Structure 1
Amino acid sequence: MVDLIPRQHLFGNPTRYGHQISPDGKRLAWVAPLDGVLNIWSAPLDDLDAAAPVTRDRRRAVDTFGFAYDGRHLLYVQDADGDENYHVFAADLESGAHRDLTPYPGIAAGIVGMSRIVRDRVLLALNDRDARFHDLHSVDLATGERQLVVQNPGFVGFLIDESYAVRFAAENRRDGSSNLLIREGESWKRWLTFSAEDARGSGAENLNTAGNLLFCRDSRGRDTAALTQIDLESGALRTIAAHDEADIGTVLLDIETREPIAYSVTHARRSWHVLDERFREDFSFLEGQGLGDYYPSSRSENDKFWIVVTFSDTRIGEALLYDRTAKTLRPLGSARPELDGAPLAPMQPSVIRSRDGLDLVSYLTRPLGADGPGPMVLLVHGGPWARDGFGFDPMHQWLANRGYAALSVNFRSSTGFGKTFLNAGDGEWGRAMDDDLLDAVAWAVAEGVADPKRVAIMGGSYGGYATLMGLARNPDTYACGIDLVGPSNLETLVRTIPPYWEAMRAQLHRAIGDPDTEAGMTLIRDQSPVYFADRIRAPLMIVQGANDPRVKQAESDQMIAALKQSGIPVTYLLYPDEGHGLVRPANRLAFFARAEAFLARHLGGLCEPIQESEATGSSVQVLREG
């Protein structure tokens, strides 16, 4: 029998991750626990043993940060208990002082840009004037003094140059199309239009340093999004890179010119492609080191040092310091060294054909030594405008170690596979998108992977919605389901989105229906699981964060009330100090302990006994036990 991997090793705090190098190449920073809470740490590059915490949060993780170009400040963002009202803070690495650069109640701020030209200031987006729209402000890192750069009349966002001058704005239209507007004095002029078919996967990316070239992701005239260049003086359009099966992924830019030097493409696996011959030797060196999949995550301003993150299906992400001059790699540590030697299972990429002919890129992890059909958990990703990929997945490893096959499916509406695939989910939530999941289950049964009587469905956000809808639409397909922060009523979902999502409302209406029209409401009701709760037969677990600003607690409360009327067995877990997902490690571990016991009860897999910390350290409230 395979040894059980402790849940703590998979879902507890990682040892360290998220390494970044300072622009001057003299310091590193990363995220690591401090007294059980993830905080930012930093150390001189030549003395990593002198690492000290930059932040000292005692409650919730601080894990999003970046070095400023002034050589002194590190910026980080933090919300309160998952409410997503992020504030931006500046930490002075010399004095140790911290300053809230956005000290305004009830706002949601974000970092738009840090510049090599304007080194003492940062460009921030703030919605303190109008909660729906973020204005841009230039803020002094040392004093917090702010200057208005541009007021937002209703745009999705802006494109700026390195002097913090606003050059373009992006505008979503009610029909689902989008405009790229160019600034002319104090007014805006329509400059480029992406149709509704292209808008989700296309748009302006960046300007070069000279300000005469605009780079875009562009699917106009083709299916997959290409990387294109537009000469702003002549208007000439040139395709730089394109792929027939997948959209262009990560694009690396030259530090000086801000022009593309390399790009990645991910269909089933990630591959890198070099555009600038000066960097071909670097990628050839990295390809020859047996790193598995990798990506450069941070670079020094002189481009001498890169932080390269490597991973595989059976190896957690490891950060390496790459010296481009010496052609050396220096290990910076694994995120979870406790998993070294653990019985991890390999992941198999597969392409499943949907009933109407779409290719669903999927990932299967089976228990070690699996032979013949067994229990399986179908994992549904959130978004839905996101995707699953190849690599270390703690959910897959957890399930495979407990005796379940884990299957993740890039159903229609997943990103990265071209606009036809991306838009095929419009109006198909809980219908054709659910058919894709059913086709994946049928494939797993036909391949001898899954026992059709022991299949569970599980997911978060859209994946939670898919769990609810899947159980209601297909009451005989699943033995049980786990919904984490999933919407149950698409009308209340779209009517209660955060105010700063206003510019995205047209995209939501295109996907699920406009609740202010008769046709839209008909579609929404047909796709809302709360109206079909009486069809559910399988045991269900619902998990909700009380502070979730996207999928509010009312979504889960409605579903619980509907299930109660029908007498369906359901467990309801509420976390009063969480938002759209579980961040605090005690809460994560408490959830996975309960989820593991739930799956073992209904599918018959292995179960690690609940540890004392999982029983007592969490804020979880069990509002219903079914």
Structure 2
Amino acid sequence: MPQDHVTRAQLVLFLYRTISAQEETSQGTVSLDDLLRLPDKVAFRLSPDSTTLALLQPWENRMNLYIQKVGETQSTRITSSKDENIQSLYWITDKVLVYSVDNGGTENTHIHVVHVDGTGDRDLTPYTNVKADLLDVLPAQKEDDFELLITMNKRDPKAMDVYRVKLGTGDTFLHVQNPGNVDYWQTDNWGRVRAAIAVDGEETSLLYREDEDKAFEKIASFAANDTFIPVMFTYNPGATAIDQLYAVSNVGRDKEALVTYDLKTRKETEVIYVNDEADISNFIYSFKKRSVLAVSYETDNVHVKYLDKEFEEMSNQLDAKLQNTHWGIIGSPDKDVLLLHTGGDKSYGSYYLYDRKMDKLDKIADSNPNLDEKKLADMKPISFKSRDGLTIHGYLTLPKGAAATKLPVVVNPHGGPRARDSWGYSSEVQLLASQGYAVLQLNYRGSTGYGKAFVHAGDKQWGQAMQNDITDGVNWLIERGTADPERVAIYGASYGGYATLAGMTFTPDLYAAGVDYVGPSSLLTFLNSLPPYWEIGRSQMYQQVGDPVKDKKMLQAYSPVLHADQIKAPLMIAQGVNDPRVKRTESDQMVTALRKLDVDVPYMLKMFEGHGYSKLENERDFYQALIHFLNKNVKNKKKAA
């Protein structure tokens, strides 16, 4: 595996949301342009020789790739994308990078290569309706001899095969063919594809081979409610066969732990770390020490369990130097020069370089220096008991300087639903708070991070117990006196959009207004229109949502579009034409159903956008309309005589 990254999970897709300042902030705290403008500099990556930084900056209202020498402040643009934002970026050598870019919101990502001087920019995956993702890099002696391992559904839209792509020529070869049920590939530390996770109905299986000239063998199977994800092979230089791997597993326990697994005995050999409160969220591995240095987990915030004394001491020193415990290392922890990113709930964050030998810390950049953190709102962790006694965690952000009584509220359920809200900076939350709204974010049952029982408590509970958790959160806020019961809105995207429609439909007296952003309106039509590369996980989707045949009546009962006549309050809907996850028809049919009832529903539909808007001009339109709609129907709502 590439050794300047701990796991491929660090190839983060950066999303940026913006708005035009056409409405004044109710608290007079911060302008919307400053709050939601494109960040100045983000996604820094340090070259292998530690002399050059790659980063993303705005150009022509799109995030583009720039190069900046260490020790300098000026950067040089090396890409010229005017249509799409450049997303993840990765150093291959000191002179060559690769980056990914979406295609009109379709999620058919393309992998490009470019030299640090801006020459040689080429699409390595120039295929139509094909999704490409970087799996690994095969090292070589010469620059042009490097090869990338890229997963693509080029041969079969439903299956991600592994391809070998020559960096110098772009020549592409099928390397490992997907048997039709693999949805996760794992390479060893030399880039050999050695393990995979296959889906067999609701169950999953671990596939393994000793070397690439041998066939994969199924060596373990896991029940529908169990998680087992191989994350890297143990490091054993010179070995011809590697018999153990690190995995994230909750097999035999409730919480996901970091474990070692013996591929010959087919047994878990060691629990490196497990937390009683939460699943692990990441780990830091040292190839130099051949050991795990630290493991992180998330409750109200991200916490770290240190497993290496020297690394813990360095981390404590950096806490003091940064005056911030919310930071992380980008890249390998073994380098003499470390790239750091700090964050918080009121900042996009800042980047630093730390020279370990000289014990010297230098700031590189603030991502958005125009933001005055003193004017932004605090995000506070909260918890309450649901109606059936389950503890629900979340976050509450109150308008800066406002008394915490009788406030207009926006409850903002997250998407996924197998995801979670976390403590940290959200331009969207700060936007709503700047307009005078309290913002309630809830990790309802079915959210990840709180263990196996909690996540599966959401199975087949769309619109039911999951929705009850959101309703209970609103009532908890009303009972505390924080929320004005006549001025509560619900707004969410993806599953959060479904929760918005369900809230407006099944608890119509609770909300003064709702905003559905790319949310499913019918559980039946949603399940019948999944992207082709989700087909492998269809049985797992049925486990989570419901089976269209066996559970048809339940799915009909909790499909908001079939109960549109129950909606009483104003509703706004936004959708991307090219959304591959929640098709445009989901929003179209909801709008049609309401208009047949003579209900005027504002509907924003954007071309060349997918599962959420990414283009600056469309984001501005959306957030401007969102604020206008909420202010009219919620904050400034006229009370009935």
Q: TM-score, normalised by structure 1?
A: 0.92
Structure 2: gaps spanning 5 or more residues: 1-25, 237-241
Q: What is the DSSP-based 3-state SS (H/G/I as helix, E as strand, rest coil) of the residue aligned with 1:312?
A: coil
2:319 to 280, 287, 301: 287
Letter in 2 for 1:72: K
Change (3 A) 1:389 1:341: closer
Q: Is the 8 A contact 2:283 2:292 kept in 1?
A: yes
Distance 1:132 1:8 in 2: 42
User: Which has the larger displacement, 272-281 or 555-564?
Assistant: 272-281
1:337 aligns with 2:361: no
Distance 1:595 1:428 in 2: 28
Letter in 2 for 1:198: D
Give the structure 1 partner of residue 185 of structure 2: 158
1:158-205 CA distance string (max 9 Å, x none): 11113332211101121x221111126543322122211113xx3211
Distance 1:588 1:507 in 2: 33
Q: What is the DSSP-based 3-state SS (H/G/I as helix, E as strand, rest coil) of the residue aligned with 2:610?
A: coil
Deviation at 1:254, TM superposition (A): 1.3
Letter in 2 for 1:207: F
Distance 1:327 1:520 in 2: 61
1:560 aligns with 2:591: yes
Distance 2:83 2:422 in 1: 31
Deviation at 1:247, TM superposition (A): 0.3
Give the structure 2 partner of residue 439 of structure 1: 472
2:112 to 89, 103, 109: 89
Deviation at 1:147, TM superposition (A): 2.9
1:541 to 572, 588, 606: 572
Deviation at 1:395, TM superposition (A): 1.9
2:437 to 372, 394, 404: 404
Q: Is the 8 A contact 2:67 2:77 kept in 1?
A: yes
2:208 to 163, 179, 182: 182
1:44 to 60, 69, 76: 69
Deviation at 1:337, TM superposition (A): 1.1
1:500 aligns with 2:533: yes
Letter in 2 for 1:197: N
Where in structure 2 are the equivalents of 1:477-516 lying within 5 Å?
477-515=510-548
Q: What is the DSSP-based 3-state SS (H/G/I as helix, E as strand, rest coil) of the residue aligned with 1:198?
A: coil
Distance 1:416 1:242 in 2: 12
Q: What is the DSSP-based 3-state SS (H/G/I as helix, E as strand, rest coil) of the residue aligned with 1:440?
A: helix
Q: What is the DSSP-based 3-state SS (H/G/I as helix, E as strand, rest coil) of the residue aligned with 1:158?
A: strand
1:460 aligns with 2:493: yes
Give the structure 2 partner of residue 53 of structure 1: 77
Give the structure 1 partner of residue 159 of structure 2: 133
Q: What is the DSSP-based 3-state SS (H/G/I as helix, E as strand, rest coil) of the residue aligned with 2:326?
A: strand
Q: Quote the sequence identity (%).
A: 35
Distance 1:508 1:317 in 2: 36
1:307-360 CA distance string (max 9 Å, x none): 222112223311222222223321122221111255211111111211122221
Give the structure 2 partner of residue 355 of structure 1: 387
Q: What is the DSSP-based 3-state SS (H/G/I as helix, E as strand, rest coil) of the residue aligned with 1:339?
A: coil
Distance 1:291 1:412 in 2: 35
Letter in 2 for 1:35: E
1:243 to 265, 275, 279: 275
Distance 1:302 1:425 in 2: 41
Q: What is the DSSP-based 3-state SS (H/G/I as helix, E as strand, rest coil) of the residue aligned with 1:289?
A: helix
Distance 2:136 2:326 in 1: 25
Letter in 2 for 1:41: Y
1:232 aligns with 2:263: yes
Q: Is the 8 A contact 1:31 1:40 kept in 2?
A: yes
Give the structure 1 partner of residue 52 of structure 2: 27
1:367 aligns with 2:390: no
Distance 2:477 2:388 in 1: 18
Root mean square deviation of aligned Cα: 1.9
User: Which has the larger displacement, 438-447 or 268-277?
Assistant: 268-277
1:75 aligns with 2:98: yes
Distance 2:47 2:572 in 1: 44
Which runs of structure 1 show a deviation greater than 6 angstroms over 4 or more consecutive aligned residues? none
Structure 1: gaps spanning 5 or more residues: 607-626
Change (3 A) 1:268 1:301: closer
1:5 to 18, 25, 30: 30
Deviation at 1:426, TM superposition (A): 0.5
Q: TM-score, normalised by structure 2?
A: 0.90
Give the structure 2 partner of residue 196 of structure 1: 224
Q: Is the 8 A contact 2:258 2:273 kept in 1?
A: yes
Give the structure 2 partner of residue 208 of structure 1: 234
Distance 1:181 1:216 in 2: 13
Deviation at 1:579, TM superposition (A): 0.7
1:121 to 147, 161, 174: 147
Q: Is the 8 A contact 1:299 1:305 kept in 2?
A: no
1:362-419 CA distance string (max 9 Å, x none): 1101112322221100011110011111112222211121111011000111111101
User: Which has the larger displacement, 412-421 or 10-19?
Assistant: 10-19
1:570 aligns with 2:593: no
Give the structure 1 partner of residue 562 of structure 2: 531
Deviation at 1:291, TM superposition (A): 4.3
1:413 to 416, 426, 446: 446
1:265-301 CA distance string (max 9 Å, x none): 1100111121223312221112323544534242358
